[in-house]
Amino acid sequence: MSDNHGMHTLDGIDAFCSPFHHRSPGESFGRMFNLAPLSTYPGALKELGKQTGPMDGSTTSNRTNSVAVGDVFFGQFIDHDITLDVMSSLSSNTDVTQLHNARSPSLDLDNIYGDGPEAQPYLYSSQGNFAGIKLLTGADLTNPTPLEAADLVRSVHGRAIIGDPRNDENRVISQLQLAMINFHNHVVDHLSADHAGGELYELSREYTTWHYQWVVVHDFLVKMCGGAVVNDILGSGCKYYKPQFGDAYIPIEFSVAAYRFGHSMIPQKIQIQKNDSALELFGSLLGRGFEPLSDPRGIVDWLELVHSNAGRNVQMAEKLDTKLATDLLKLPFISSDSEQSLATRNLLRGQSFLLPSGENIAHAMQRPQAEIDSVTINARTVAGNNIDISTGTPLWFYLLSEAETIGRETTAGNFDQSEGLGPVGARIVAETLIGLLESDARSYMTVNRNWEPSDGVNVSTLGEMLTF
């Protein structure tokens, strides 16, 4: 029988009644909350997430007012920087203690730097003054074509030679990888007048990484989680994610549920060039990953996808709610005998990781009962009478309902529905990313809490970084 994701009912049901294992130092993943897991009939989860089901947003576009499409793909880039789980399955319960994170749980850009120029020299220039300092792109090929020059450097088989292969799985993320590589290379140019050799590489990597970290905290998290929760964490510290210094881990409430909020914000179509038509997300130009750029229309003009001072009509993300673009509910790159709905995959994955209900986590966070009730009622209304989630709302679906019902706390006491994560989701995401920085001995928050973008780079937003 097939062992593809989502094809079986869950094995090991006894685990739902067993005491949880408490995380030991050095384990890659762990739990933010030690709560009883939710068990929902798998058929209900499949009905909830299927194409034409209650989460199907069809092809209707309902865009946010404040979050650009580029911000959502940047969220994917961040995910690829901090976590890679290649072991878990949808078809059986997952023992979190046995999972290995193939990425470092740090916002250190190892998805572009790899293990550095000594361990992975093929990622770096090998000639001239910048040998072992600048990262390679397609523009470094001998006599590159215009398309090669606008692409990642690739092997003869078309595979991108980069720190994390997932950053080539669609055209937008591969172009974002290229933009981040170019940002590092431009920082090298900026610092090269006063530094050289290994010192230039280390300083350029630190500058690049610290500016990236600043953007994550002060731009990305503010947009996705709201300024109120970010300011509270920066001022009062994390309440729920508290790893020992130097022993950071990825909470499964974050990786399996909360940080999958971006799936709701991905549009069916995206316009990536000025005055050009919008392209299908999974069409031939944007959706076919792991192959060379073959059409100039696939080159992303980041001024179209991120906020900047250019005055462009920026493409906005879909609202953060309980709907997903219909194409995401029938993924074309998943075989027909597997679960093709991204929503259903998320719901089944949450159950296989023994996640608690959204209500139980909200109670653990001491959210008001009236707020919890409103989120639950909305979730059950969306699900409809024929889908039974009366035992509790799956955490990922609860957080989408919370964003739709309560919304992002943009400033203290001011909430904007569907513009970002609600109180529970925002707290999980923001505490995890800020907590990872505070656990990293090399981050700007640990090395120099007074640091801010300066020294001529002065990049403080995603738009400034991708167009530096």
Half-sphere exposure of 294 (CA within 13 A, CB side): 11
Distance CA 17, CA 155 (A): 50
- The CATH code belonging to domain 26-466 is 1.10.640.10
pLDDT at residue 96 tops 80: no
Question: Half-sphere exposure of 361 toward its Cβ, with a 13 Å CA cutoff?
Answer: 31
pLDDT of residue 256: 96
Burial string for 358-386 (b: 16+ CB within 10 Å, else e) reads bbbbbbeeebeeebbeebbebbbebbeee
**HEC states along 389-408?**
CCCCCEHHHHHHHHHHHCCE
In DSSP notation, 408-426 reads: EEEETTEEETTSS--HHHH
Residue 20's pLDDT band (boundaries 50, 70, 90)? low
Confidence grade of residue 59 (pLDDT, cut at 50, 70, 90): confident
Q: Using one digit for the tens of pLDDT, what is the confidence trace for 148-194? A: 999 999 999 999 999 999 999 999 999 999 999 999 999 999 999 99
User: How many beta carbons lie within 10 A of that of residue 19, not counting itself?
Assistant: 6
Give the model confidence (pLDDT) of 44-54 as tens digits. Answer: 999 999 999 99
Give the strand pairing for 250-251 and 29-30.
parallel
- Residue environment code for 34-55, b if the CB has 16+ CB neighbours within 10 A, otherwise e: ebebbebebebbbbbbbbebbb
Residue 11 β-bridge partners = 92
Strand partners, 135: 124
Least confident of 15-29, 100-114, 195-209, 371-385: 15-29
How confident is the model over 336-343, as a mean pLDDT?
Answer: 84
DSSP secondary structure letter of residue 255 = I
Supply φ then ψ for residue 230, to 5 degrees.
-60, -45
Residue 237 has pLDDT above 60, yes or no: yes
Model confidence at 8, pLDDT cuts 50, 70, 90, reads: very low
Rounded Cα gap, residues 267 and 287, in angstroms: 13
Lowest mean pLDDT among 158-167, 239-248, 345-354, 379-388: 239-248
**Model pLDDT, residue 2:** 37
Angle, vertex CA 32, rays to CA 23 and CA 373, nearest 5: 145
On whether the CB atoms of residues 3 and 91 are closer than 8 A, the answer is yes
pLDDT, one tens digit per residue, over 391-437 is: 999 999 999 999 999 999 999 999 999 999 999 999 999 999 999 99
HSE value, Cβ hemisphere, 13 Å, CA-based, for 10: 26
Is 90 a residue whose pLDDT tops 70? Answer: no
